[in-house]
Structure 1
Amino acid sequence: MNRKESVKPFKRRFEYHNHLLDDATKEMNEWTGENKVVEIHLFAMFSEVFKPHNRDDAESLFIVGTRDTTPSLEAVSVTPVKPWLFSRVFALLGSSFVLLAMLFLVFRSNNAVPGMIFIGSLTVPFSLLIMFFEINVFQNISVYQLLTVFLVGGILSLIATMILYSLIPSGNGVSWESAITIGFIEETAKMLVIAYFVNRFHLNYIFNGLLIGAAIGAGFAVFETAGYTGQYGLVTLLMRSWQAIGTHTIWSAIMGAAIILAKDRHQPVTGSNMVAPKFLRFYLLAIALHAAWDWNAPFAVLDILYLQQWVLIAVGWLAIFVLINAGLREARTLQGQRILKNTQLGS
């Protein structure tokens, strides 16, 4: 067999996987209203992470969202998003956790444990939240609003979850029936809180929904992880910390964007929006991802290197990238409509 012939199977396998990816993004993109494949360019999207940025660059991002710093629709950037600040926040929180761990391990200081639990629970969800804050191209949500949703929304979603748990039997948490029930309860609780804040802040854009959803999901994740760590120890913290890249924060972001997709622009979220196909598809996807995450699948292969979790993380992020594409498409459409309107008024 010559070299060209030996390469062919690998080429065919790559093309097959690429075809699967295209089919998946096209299907999800149809849920947003566009019948096209979404091209995902990870290196381009995160290219700014590896470039130098100074303090002024960071501070300019944190001051957006006020009456004076929210850009007009014409000034909104519709170029592909390239977040970077989240990586610095992650490095800051991660290094803080390492220092606290050193304090605990070297000096045997139990006083470091509460800090480790708090910072460890916060690091990944909050860093993801900053990423969603960066990619909100409309820059119409301030840091103060974001922290309010993160803290208050996270707690409210936990309260709503406990209320639903008291009303709906959830089982043992590992069977597929129980996993679906838990997924339904927790995602529904977060969805209700997301809808409340969307109405509270009069939000109308897909990127807004992604951000508000991520804030509530991140708050939920931080408090839940801290609680579980208090019960089961620091090993639980380490496990849940890395897994947070693909759990509550992105599941809730998906639902937040879906709520915006389903509701009428400049109108509040209503019950009828909750049964619209544009919402239901992504809502059911979030429940399915959550249920599959909790399910103790009877397949040994899924336990190898946490394959089950990595597959679900990939699917969740696939939905996020599709919704980011939909958000940029929405911004371009709105800008085009505004330009056309201004042209007609000027003629």
Structure 2
Amino acid sequence: MKTWLKIFLIGLALWAATVAVTAWTENTNLVPTVVLLGSFLVPVTFVVWAYGRHRSQEVTVELLFTAFVVGGVLGVLGASILESWLLKPSLWTYVGVGLIEEGVKLLALMFVTRHLTKRTTRDGLVLGATVGFGFAAFESAGYAFNALFTREGLSLSQAVETEVLRGLLAPLGHGLWTAIIGGVLFAGGGITVRLVLTYLGVSMLHALWDSMRGLAIALTLLFTGKSWQFDALRIGQVPQATNGQVNLYTALDWIGLVVISVIALMWLRSIDRSARHGVPRPT
């Protein structure tokens, strides 16, 4: 059995057992274990998978650990500071989030790989993905922690639901986007026009991903909105949706996420294919 699969299955079993024991005993001391195992399982699994597909003398286990933990934490801290400082509620909030989070992950990647003497595009893909998955793991832990707290008290079920959803979507988010940036960064050897355009493109994919719910609601109203719903909106009320609108909204939301993911995966694949015959580039 492959190493990444062992890690995933063992981690999944431990997480499920911890959730079951926590629910049975109502021992809140186990909640941090639930949050950490659930948030880190998928990101760690995909880092191990990526490392197994591309082994390199430069990309060591120590560097992977540094990229995941240091890069991930620096990214989360940088994004938190800049978003609280620069962003205000507006139609452009998600664009700002995309630009900030992809920017801080790029800077974190550049920081943790500054001492590499040889660089290949595929090294950049792996290390970029590692920083991105580190960011995703720490961010997911925060979302799961927040989901615990409800008006009725601690809600283990909401935390578990949050972790399952974010775990399923994790391979198509931060890790994928930062892998693309990392591959282009290492291919070009520094700040290039191509890197800037890649950063902007990935940031827009990030913004579209985050805003997909709002876009799906807007498209649903555009296609099927009733006059009484628009009247309610004009006076500041939230109109009730029909069953057909709920189904359309759900379909549009998921279709949008799939389209964004396919674009990112094809982009990543094109970078990887162009690097298959590449040679290490001295820094």
| TM-score band, normalised by shorter chain | 0.7 to 0.9
Q: How far apart, in 2, do the equivalents of 1:89 and 1:237 lie?
A: 17
Given that 2:66 and 2:112 are in contact with CA atoms closer than 8 Å, whether structure 1 keeps it comes out as: no
Which structure's relative contact order is higher, taking Cα pairs within 8 Å and 6+ residues apart? Answer: 2
Partner-residue secondary structure (3-state), 1:199: coil
CA distance in 2, matches of 1:239, 1:190: 22
The one-character-per-residue Cα deviations of 1:109-161 (angstroms, maximum 9, x if unpaired) are: 33332111101101111111112212224342211221112111111112221
- Equivalent position of 2:210 in the other structure: 294
1:211 aligns with 2:114: no
Shift of 1:203: 4.3
What residue in structure 1 maps to residue 184 of structure 2?
258
The corresponding residue for 2:254 is: 306
Query: 1:215 offset after TM fit, Å?
Result: 1.6
Aligned match of 1:192: 107
Partner of 2:6: 88
| Maintained 8 Å contact 2:72/2:138 | yes
The residue identity in structure 2 corresponding to 1:117 is V
**Aligned pair in 2 of structure 1 residues 311, 96: CA closer, same or farther (>3 Å)?**
farther
* Correspondence for 1:135: 53
Contact conserved, 1:155 with 1:219, CA < 8 A, in 2? yes
- 8 A contact 1:135–1:207 mirrored in 2: no
The secondary structure found in structure 2 opposite 1:125 is: helix
**1:233-260 Cα shifts (integer Å, max 9, x gaps):** 3132222121112111111111111111
Distance 1:226 1:92 in 2: 19
Give aligned pairs, total.
Answer: 238
**Structure 2: gaps spanning 5 or more residues:** 149-158, 221-247
TM-score with structure 2 length normalisation?
0.77
Structure 1 stretches of 5 or more lacking a match?
A: 1-52, 54-83, 264-268, 335-347
- 2:97 corresponds to which residue? 182
**Which of 153, 168, 180 is the equivalent residue of 1:242?**
168
Contact 2:75–2:135 under 8 Å retained in 1: yes
Residues 75-97 of structure 1 show CA distances to partners (whole Å, capped at 9, x for unaligned) of: xxxxxxxxx53233222222221
- The one-letter amino acid paired with 1:191 is L
Question: In 1, distance between residues paired with 2:187 and 2:172?
Answer: 22
Matched to 2:270, the amino acid is V
Structure 2 residue identity aligned to 1:244: A
Superimposed CA distance per residue, residues 181-220 of structure 1 (whole angstroms, 9 cap, x where no aligned partner): 1100110011111122232333411111112211211111
Amino acid aligned to 2:250: D
Check the 8 A contact 1:206/1:260 in 2, yes or no: yes
Quick one: percent identity of the two aligned structures? Answer: 23
CA gap 1:165/1:135 in 2 versus in 1, 3 angstroms: same
Task: Describe the shift of the 1:163–1:105 C-alpha distance in structure 2 as closer, same or farther (beyond 3 A).
Answer: closer
Contact 2:36 2:141 in 1 (8 A): yes
Identify if the C-alpha distance between structure 1 residues 187 and 108 changes in structure 2 by more than 3 Å, giving closer, same or farther. same
